[in-house]
Amino acid sequence: MHILYLDDEPRMESTLRRLVQRQGHRFEFCTSIKACKTAVAAKVPDLLLLDLGLGQESGLDVIEWLADEQIALPVVFLSGYGDDLLDTAQRIAKARGVEIRGLVSKALLASDLLPLLDPPPVLPPAAQPPERQPGPADASLIRLDAAMLAERIAAGGVEPAFQPIVSLVDGSPCGVEVLARLRLADGSLMNAADFIPLAEATGLITPMTKALLRRVIALKERLRPLELNFLAVNLSRVALERGEVSDLLQPLVTGLKDCCRVTVEVAETTVCHDRRLLQTAAAQIQLLGASLAIDDFGTGYASLRDLAEFPVNTLKIDISFVSEMFVSMKAMTVLLAIIGLGQRLGLKMIAEGVETEAQRDLLFSAGLEFAQGYLFGRPGELAAIERLVAASRLSASAFDAFDVCDLQA
Ligand code: C2E
Ligand code: CA
Ligand code: CA
């Protein structure tokens, strides 16, 4: 591997050179951006170790240059300024499309740097960017307008997709989240993110939600044998503002009475818009016999007082903390703090967006009980949940049989 190191200060050079060469890599050093550009022009190295503070210049100028020139050169940031700056620099680079292989605090040079000199691991398939739901055409490319959305809702085009929520203790599916999908006239399926904002802006969110929940109730005979602990649905701010919570939820709670408990997910960005709204909604939700989850927790404005005051049952830790937990030290710290907070408040906690086994294992060892994400199952038809439950029961009974044999032996 050919490693280029840019730092205005030669103090670290000899240490780094020794460290890198001992691993069998080729090492080149430069002290200015100009010299760095010349070296890259002569031959693009495999990795750039980039100091963030370069006297009059800054490592961020190098990032701008790499992005402008579209040079595919992975970067490891070095900094003596601490984690905060490394974290921010990484976000800037990511936004510009520059690959950041890692962050190394100069104080922890050897322990942080050496693992990064190995070739990057090949990500498992689940960690690749999410695929869209298959359909005859790419539904995300279709421009939806209010009239088309209203027509689709009226035509029965709103469909539930079910995503499993599993116990991290034994991997068994213990709940599902219902996510809305829109079947377009050409048969393709549109994801929630592509039509919910329009539904909210036009007021069509109310008929959309009613249509969705009707479809879920109609599936109760298939839901019952799954013996799920809970079924979660999303409610938007509009429903809270219009005081529609009871109207929307009552039929669902009644319809699924002997199936599973209903959980209502309200996004945290909604929560503090008007505290009274949440207060009223939270009370109504509990009175109906449903439970309340704060969705996307950590991204919005729910004050800690809200958590203590309102009858909140569950925190769904936002996907951004999980996807960044191994990339940003700050994200990891905040994640662990959220878990500690939730535990102290006695709340059920679900991590969203778990895509890799490494994420799952760390969350479990940090004390988290539940998780959701592509690692366990993508949103899809109820049949996929049925298969998952059947497989989980089969492995549990095999385990029990093994236990009995074990005892008898
Ligand atoms: P959300 O409630 O946070 O739902 C999770 C979103 O993350 C879903 O996108 C889901 O497909 C996606 N997701 C799940 N696991 C993973 C993973 O491992 N990796 C990644 N990258 N993504 C994952 P979707 O279905 O497009 O929904 C987007 C948002 O739309 C939802 O975010 C929710 O806020 C809203 N939404 C969905 N259905 C409804 C609904 O019926 N009513 C309302 N008001 N909002 C809804
Ligand atoms: Ca949700
Ligand atoms: Ca969420």
Residue 134: per-residue pLDDT: 46
Residue among 363, 370, 348, 342 at smallest CA distance from 165: 370
What is the Å distance from ligand 2's center to 177 Cα?
Answer: 7
Q: In the chain, where are the structural domains located?
A: 2-116, 145-397
pTM of the model: 0.73
Residues forming a β-bridge with 176: 164, 231
* Ligand 1 in reach of 298 Cβ (< 6 A): no
Give the residue, by CA position, lying nearest to ligand 1 atom 14: 373
The CA–CA distances, whole Å, from 158 to 37, 133, 144, 181, 214 equal 54, 15, 14, 6, 10
Give the residue, by CA position, lying nearest to ligand 1 atom 22: 353
Residues forming a β-bridge with 292: 264
Sort strands 189-190 and 158-167 into parallel, antiparallel or unpaired: unpaired
Residue among 143, 144, 181 at smallest CA distance from 161: 181
d(CA 306, CA 96): 37
* Ligand 1 in reach of 267 Cβ (< 6 A): yes
* Ligand 1 in reach of 373 Cβ (< 6 A): yes
d(CA 234, CA 237): 10
Q: What is the DSSP string of 95-137?
A: HTT--EEEEEEGGGHHHHHGGGGSPPPPPPGGGSPPPPPP-SS
Residue 322: per-residue pLDDT: 93
Q: What is the DSSP string of 135-147?
A: -SS-GGGSPP-HH
Residues 224-255 pLDDT 10s: 999 999 999 999 988 888 889 999 999 999 99
Residue 174: per-residue pLDDT: 97
Residue 124: per-residue pLDDT: 55
In the numeric block, which tokens belong to residue 78? Answer: 């070095």
* Ligand 1 in reach of 39 Cβ (< 6 A): no
Sort strands 189-190 and 75-79 into parallel, antiparallel or unpaired: unpaired
Give the residue, by CA position, lying nearest to ligand 1 atom 15: 373
What is the Å distance from ligand 2's center to 232 Cα?
Answer: 8
Residues 116-143 pLDDT 10s: 776 655 555 544 444 444 444 566 656 7
* Rounded (10°) angle between helices 83-95 and 59-69: 10
d(CA 354, CA 228): 20
* Ligand 1 in reach of 216 Cβ (< 6 A): no
The CA–CA distances, whole Å, from 267 to 136, 144, 328, 352 equal 32, 24, 24, 13
Tell me the one-letter amino acid at 330: K
Q: What is the tally of helices (H) and strands (E) in the chain?
A: 18, 16
Q: Name residues whose C-beta falls within 8 Å of residue 199's C-beta, 6 or more positions apart in sequence.
A: 149, 205, 208
Give the residue, by CA position, lying nearest to ligand 1 atom 41: 180
Atom of ligand 1 nearest to the CA of 212: 41
Atom of ligand 1 nearest to the CA of 191: 26
In the numeric block, which tokens belong to residue 30? Answer: 């430069």
Give the residue, by CA position, lying nearest to ligand 1 atom 20: 353
d(CA 189, CA 157): 9
Tell me the one-letter amino acid at 221: E
d(CA 363, CA 145): 41
User: 101 with 75: CB under 8 angstroms?
Assistant: yes
* Ligand 1 in reach of 317 Cβ (< 6 A): no
Successive 10-residue mean pLDDT values, the chain, 409 residues: 91 82 89 94 95 84 94 89 75 90 74 70 51 52 85 97 97 97 95 92 95 98 97 92 92 96 87 70 90 88 71 92 88 91 93 96 95 97 97 84 60
d(CA 114, CA 19): 8
User: 171 with 360: CB under 8 angstroms?
Assistant: no
Residue 351: per-residue pLDDT: 97
Residue 295: per-residue pLDDT: 92
CATH class assigned to 2-116: alpha beta
CATH class assigned to 145-397: alpha beta
Which ligand neighbours the alpha carbon of 353 most closely?
1
What is the Å distance from ligand 3's center to 73 Cα?
Answer: 34
Residue 267: per-residue pLDDT: 85
d(CA 166, CA 152): 32
Give the residue, by CA position, lying nearest to ligand 1 atom 24: 192
User: 279 with 285: CB under 8 angstroms?
Assistant: no
* Ligand 1 in reach of 268 Cβ (< 6 A): no
Mark the residues whose beta carbon lies below 5 A from ion ligand 3.
Answer: 295-296, 352
d(CA 129, CA 113): 27
What is the Å distance from ligand 3's center to 353 Cα?
Answer: 8
Q: How far out from the chain centre does Cα 327 lie?
A: 13
What letter does residue 12 receive in the DSSP assignment? G
Choose one of 133, 140, 179 to mutate for the ligand 1 pocket test, by most ligand atoms within 8 angstroms of C-beta.
Answer: 179
